[in-house]
């Protein structure tokens, strides 16, 4: 493309671009010709400076505005000033400046909270407001360098229909207003039970109030995980039981009404303390157990559990599963007799909870004594005696008579066997023991 003819000394400065009628959507750039060495200045119809730049040695200039043009029609005029201060007014072109501001969230027609934040896109670095139909601002902010903005109201909205429009101030006195958008403001959901700051178990049930017939969720305050969800009744009440056991310790949750598109209208944060007492469920209290029993019970989900004896000695340790169940086996056999088993639970933050002790008994075992003992007369021995007496009737008496013994046979247990001795045979034995 051929360059415009350079201006001769003293020639009238001329704007060669933009052409008349051109539309700007941002900061304008203006170029043209003028006397070499002079300074070209561009002003709008109000006399406000748009930009200025020295004219090059070939008589050309180009400059970019330092600010946006006012929305609508603007007349741009170039004036050159020589080194001795002589000004020369040049040509004027008429241009249009059109800007837009968009609202991205929340979407039209959705349910919103009384403190809903509004976000969207505008021109970079401009003042943005959300205004009522009457032009009353409900919040004010400034867009960032990419034109993004978020506007948060300082005063809560009343429950019911709401219509607002985004607006931005391009330059002083020039405001661009976007399309109005309508929503419905609903009351923030609220947890009414358990009481804020209270103690709950690991499967709490949350009740409260929310927008009738909406979907409600109880959300973990730190992770954003949904702990339970439910449908709000026509009266605006909800009941939301947690079905997955919570770990022991501090808990922060907030209620959230789920609107169209999965967006949330959030209620106030509530804090609780989740407490669980560990308990041994097997063996039963007062039962008889083997020397190495399996000990089972319940505790806080994922907590560490130790089972102690009556002296405070740790018998076994284990980590409870996601349901709070645990099972452990002592590392050493229990001695015979009575024992107490105490479950002790340690949570994530080190909080220790002691459960109730149970008492069990390990049965005793026979201990073989050492050294001489007095032989015991057993049932078998008595039977043998009876047989021996029967034998005496058929001739055993004659055998004993040969030895000089008479009377009944006496049993003597020796080494698991049984000897039959006559009473006469015992006499010399006792005599020998007496002499020794």
Q: How many CB atoms lie within 10 A of CB 24?
A: 19
| Per-residue model confidence (pLDDT) at position 366 | 36
Q: What is the pLDDT of residue 138?
A: 96
Residues 87 and 139 in one domain: no
Q: Give yes or no for a contact between 278 and 355, defined as CB atoms under 8 angstroms apart.
A: yes
301 with 329, same domain?
A: yes
State how far the Cα of 425 lies from the Cα of 421, in Å rounded to an integer: 6
- For 327-342, the pLDDT digits (tens) are 999 999 999 999 999 9
pLDDT at 397: 39
pLDDT band per the 50, 70, 90 thresholds, residue 348: confident
Q: Order of strands, edge to edge, in the sheet holding 190-193?
A: 190-193, 205-209, 237-241
| SS3 annotation, 291-312 | CCCCEEEECCCCCEEEEECCCC
422 compared with 286, residue with greater pLDDT: 286
Average pLDDT over every residue of 154-173? 92
Asked if 267 and 287 sit in the same domain, the reply is: no
pLDDT in tens, 44-99: 888 889 999 999 999 999 999 988 888 889 999 999 999 999 999 999 999 998 99
Give the mean pLDDT of 281-300. 96
The model's confidence at residue 188, banded by pLDDT at 50, 70 and 90, is very high
> HSE on the CB side for 387, CA within 13 Å?
10
Number of structural domains, the chain? 5
Centroid of chain to Cα 398:
100
- Answer whether residue 246 is part of any domain: yes
- pTM for this structure? 0.59
With beta carbons less than 8 A apart as the criterion, state whether 418 and 411 touch: yes
Task: Tell me if 391 is assigned to some domain.
Answer: yes
Give mean pLDDT, residues 335-359.
93
Answer yes or no: is pLDDT of 403 > 50.
no
CA distances from 251 to 140, 220, 239, 272, 306 (A): 35, 8, 19, 5, 24
Considering the domain architecture, whether residues 211 and 251 belong to the same structural domain is answered as yes
Residues 119 and 175 in one domain: yes
pLDDT at 393: 42
Summarize pLDDT for 374-390 with one digit per residue, the tens: 344 444 433 433 443 44
In a shared domain, residues 312 and 346: yes
91 and 132 assigned to the same domain: no
User: 329 versus 427: which is more confidently predicted?
Assistant: 329
7-46 tens-digit pLDDT: 566 689 999 999 989 998 888 999 999 999 999 999 988 8
């Amino acid at each position: 493309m051929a360059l415009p003819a350079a201006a001769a000394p003293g020639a009238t400065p001329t704007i060669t671009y933009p052409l008349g009628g051109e539309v700007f959507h941002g900061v304008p750039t203006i170029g043209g010709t003028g006397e070499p060495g002079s300074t070209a200045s561009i002003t709008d119809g109000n006399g406000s400076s748009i930009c200025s730049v020295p004219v090059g040695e070939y008589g050309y200039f180009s400059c970019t505005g330092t600010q946006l043009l006012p929305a609508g029609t603007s007349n741009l005029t170039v004036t050159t000033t020589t080194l001795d201060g002589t000004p020369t007014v040049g040509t004027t072109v008429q241009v249009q400046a059109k800007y837009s501001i968009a609202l991205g969230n929340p979407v039209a027609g959705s349910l919103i909270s009384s403190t809903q934040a509004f976000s969207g896109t505008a021109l970079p670095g401009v003042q943005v407001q959300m205004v009522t139909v009457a032009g009353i601002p409900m919040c004010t902010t400034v867009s960032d360098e990419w034109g993004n903005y978020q506007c948060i109201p300082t005063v809560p909205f009343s429950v019911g229909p709401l219509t607002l429009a985004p607006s931005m101030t391009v330059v002083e006195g020039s405001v661009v207003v976007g399309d109005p958008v309508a929503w419905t403001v609903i009351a923030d959901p609220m947890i009414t039970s358990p009481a804020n700051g209270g103690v709950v178990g690991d499967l709490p049930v949350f009740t409260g109030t929310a927008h009738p017939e909406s979907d409600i969720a109880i959300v973990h305050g730190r992770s954003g995980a949904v702990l339970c969800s439910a449908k709000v009744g026509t009266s605006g009440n909800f009941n939301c039981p947690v079905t997955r056991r919570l770990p022991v310790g501090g808990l922060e949750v907030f209620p959230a009404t789920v609107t169209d598109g999965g967006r949330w209208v959030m209620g106030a944060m509530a804090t609780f303390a989740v407490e669980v007492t560990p308990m041994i469920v097997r063996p039963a209290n007062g039962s008889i157990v083997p020397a190495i029993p399996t000990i089972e019970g319940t505790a806080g989900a994922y907590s560490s559990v130790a089972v102690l004896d009556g002296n405070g000695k740790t018998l076994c340790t284990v980590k409870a599963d996601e349901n709070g169940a645990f099972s452990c086996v002592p590392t050493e056999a229990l001695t015979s007799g009575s024992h107490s088993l105490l479950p002790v639970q340690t949570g994530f933050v080190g909080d220790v909870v002691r459960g109730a002790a149970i008492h069990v008994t390990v049965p005793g075992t026979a201990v073989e004594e050492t050294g001489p003992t007095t032989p015991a007369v057993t049932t078998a021995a008595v039977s043998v005696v009876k047989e021996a007496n029967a034998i005496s009737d058929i001739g055993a008496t004659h055998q004993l008579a040969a030895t000089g013994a008479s009377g009944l046979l006496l049993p003597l247990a020796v080494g698991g066997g049984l000897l039959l001795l006559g009473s006469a045979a015992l006499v010399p034995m006792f005599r020998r023991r007496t002499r020794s």
